[in-house]
Amino acid sequence: MAEVNSTTGNLPGKSRFDQVLGPKVPGVITTSKEQLFGMARKSSLWTLSFGLACCAIEMMSTYMSHYDLDRFGVVTWPSPRQSDVMIVAGTVVKKMEEPIRLLYEQMPDPKWVIAMGSCATNGGPYYKSYSVVMGVDHIIPVDIYVPGCPPRPEALLYGIVKLQEKIMQDSKSNGR
């Protein structure tokens, strides 16, 4: 059987962070575990991939190369089991109430919800329609509301940044 050998190989170069801040930052930093976890969580948000209506097109374009949500550590994920953010992008019709609630309950804690667009916020153009829920917060708790019909990708990006700020605030104040 062939033998597999390993050598020291190439030494990795210093990262940009090491080059710029390395000499200035002390080797040991103290913080609370809540803030450490908060920093990790806000920098690696996994958003559940699903869309309900036209706002979903804007959400998809936010993931594409021009806006590049990856640089915020945001990964879109096809299962609720590993996702921690639900972006409700589109009109919440009444027949989708149960599936949305089920998906939310399948997500592990801690988890967050962004209501993207007027429809998800309060029914939008379908306000008081017989078939539309007047905001997804009638079904599940919402952390961030992004206004617009539809909101542009920049608005969703801003919503993500506000969510990251909220996660850090919560980690300082209530240990989540």
Residues contributing to the site for ligand SF4 (CB under 6 A): 53-55, 90-91, 117-119, 124-125, 149-150
User: For ligand SF4, which is the closer residue by CB, 54 or 168?
Assistant: 54
CB of 36 to ligand SF4, least distance (A): 37
Q: Are 93 and 131 in contact (CB under 8 A)?
A: yes
Helix (H, G, I), strand (E, B) or coil at 116: strand
103/167 with CB nearer ligand SF4 = 103
Give min distance, CB of 126 to ligand SF4, in A: 7
Q: How far is the CB of 96 from ligand SF4 (least distance, A)?
A: 12
Q: How far is the CB of 141 from ligand SF4 (least distance, A)?
A: 20
Contact (Cβ atoms closer than 8 angstroms) between residue 161 and residue 139: no
In angstroms, what CA-CA distances link 88 with 65, 116, 156? 21, 6, 11
| Nearer residue to ligand SF4 within complex by CB, 73 or 148 | 148
Cβ atoms within 10 Å, residue 126:
18
Query: Which of 73, 66, 107, 67 minimizes the C-alpha distance to 88?
Result: 107
Q: Maximum Cα–Cα distance for the chain, whole Å?
A: 72
| Shortest CB 74 distance to ligand SF4, Å | 20
d(CA 40, CA 171): 11
Between 59 and 167, CB nearer to ligand SF4: 59
Which residue number, 49 or 176, has a Cβ lying nearer to ligand SF4? 49
Using the 8-state DSSP alphabet, how is residue 40 labeled?
H
CA distance 85 to 82: 10
